[in-house]
Structure 1
């Protein structure tokens, strides 16, 4: 009996045969909710970009989001799930006869472009501020953390609305909205760096004469990758909601283009008479945000260092 108790755990032996990157991938792909969300998210993005095309690349859908077409009835959706049929306008038509499927696909394209741009830029800013504040400490940390506190104190929606009104356009929103979404990551990265900078291997590298840049990129940043990757997914979800809210309030994407929030804003008064004009972009926002958040949960669990073994 004592010999059995002293036998090493088979799972631990199995884990030692994998690199850290392989263990992370194994944990993520065993997270069923994250994988399901990833498939759904990829399906939505693929549908949006292949259906109506993007840039010079044409799509397989024969309707254009800017053209008007003869109204069919009251513009109701022709999509039927009982006897599956797409019909002429699966998502219906808007009040002037535009194909609503094409409009929603265009809205998804614009919202995803803005959200991914905001997520990446805000992650870069937050990582940069957090690393500099945590590694150098002193007056650099004081200045950067006071700046972080100032941005946190200002109401996010008000700050974003002012910036959105000043610049406007898809590119402008993508560039300026990250200025209000980086603070949370900066605090998280700073905390990680404060812990990592005191590790023995970092102190040994410093004693060996390694430069600050080498220490940061070779020894500090790799230890914060998990926090950064998860933060990107959360920032993308938050950016979609923020962009949708700003467009709904009239401070986001201009009416010459479209986005999911702008579609909801334009047709909010038709909710009781033409509910499909509200529900389809609303369901698209809900699907994208939930998918991104579940993917973030899966990445967080995969990078969690407390999970020392893969679960079968």
Structure 2
């Protein structure tokens, strides 16, 4: 078509018209694409809402330390029992055997369990990322030694060694977190090692090495930012593992010790009341279920967002 014919036919569609007709033609940054994929994962969004609600209610209801909450009962006072201690308007979660408000106890147990879970998640992520990155980048004897260490930790029965370390902490929450964090990093270390082995042969890494950049700077500035997807997903799922591990330890008596409580210790203490006073068992159990499922769904959403090849939901 000639220029005269084009002018006679009228002006063609501009860039704005194309974007309006084809909104999918807009360009997005890598972070925006990941966010858009994550927001399309309905299960992950619902899980985030549930997790946020659990965190907000547990920490604002009874307060933190000297900061008071909006709930007018505490975990130490034994109130007059109403009937058999079942749920009432005054005590919506019921009362324990001596009259303590079970809502306050459950919220305190949720605080402690969340603190342990996120603490273990952070520590294990740091350990696993460090070991995996060093093993993958340096290879050779360093890789062999670190991977053999990983194999040793993997073959040790997790619950058994965690119980031993839990008993050695003598009720210290921070020591318990350190002990558990030192046990659940192995999966992340293997994943990070695999990613680093691939990335270390890329052109941008070889160019950085050619100009004399130190190995530490290459790992931190050039390699690890490209493994953030694997690290984020693994860290999220480790949190779910940590809360279930802490629950198991507390149930066996090797986790959080009195006078403090966790969701696992509440279940352990009142397991015998399952048939006669089921509210003492079900409330902490439901909180554990809500937290564990929420974290797993969030992890699934992050996995699908960072790696669309594994997408299990329709976009």
Number of the residue aligned with 1:118: 120
Work out the CA distance in 2 between the residues paired with 1:175 and 1:165: 13
Matches within 5 A, 1:121-140: 121-140=123-142
1:66 pairs, out of 71, 76, 85, with 76
Instruction: Give deviations 1:23-62, integer Å, cap 9, x for gaps.
Output: 1111111111101000000001100000000112100000
Q: What is the deviation of 1:166?
A: 0.4
Q: Is the 8 A contact 2:303 2:310 kept in 1?
A: no
Give structure 1 stretches of 5+ with no counterpart: 1-9, 79-86
Runs of 4+ in 1 over 6 A off after TM superposition: none
Deviation per CA, 1:161-217: give whole Å up to 9, x if none: 010000132111111111110000000000000011111221122112222122111
- Deviation by residue 1:76-117 (Cα, 9 ceiling, x = unmatched): 111xxxxxxxx1000000011000000000000000000000
Shift of 1:232: 1.2
Equivalent in 189, 208, 211 of residue 186 of structure 1: 189
How big is the shift at 1:307? 7.9
- Tell me the residue number matched to 1:13: 25
Asked if 2 retains the 8 angstrom alpha-carbon contact of 1:75 and 1:94, the reply is yes
Q: Is the 8 A contact 2:271 2:281 kept in 1?
A: yes
Using structure 2 for the length normalisation, give the TM-score. 0.90
Structure 2 equivalent of residue 155 of structure 1: 157
Identify unmatched segments of 5+ residues in structure 2: 1-21
TM-score of the superposition, structure 1-length normalised?
Answer: 0.91
By how many angstroms is 1:13 displaced?
A: 2.8
* Greater Cα offset, 196-205 or 178-187: 196-205
The yes-or-no answer on 1:219 pairing with 2:212 is: no
Asked if 2 retains the 8 angstrom alpha-carbon contact of 1:129 and 1:186, the reply is: yes
Alignment of 1:1-312 (within 5 A): 13-14=25-26, 17-78=27-88, 87-167=89-169, 168-304=171-307, 306=309
2:261 partner SS: coil
Contact residue 205 and residue 218 of structure 2 kept, 8 A: yes
What's the CA shift for 1:297? 0.5
The answer to whether the Cα contact below 8 Å between 1:169 and 1:252 also exists between their aligned partners in 2 is: no
Q: Quick one: distance in 1 between partners of 2:76 and 2:112?
A: 15
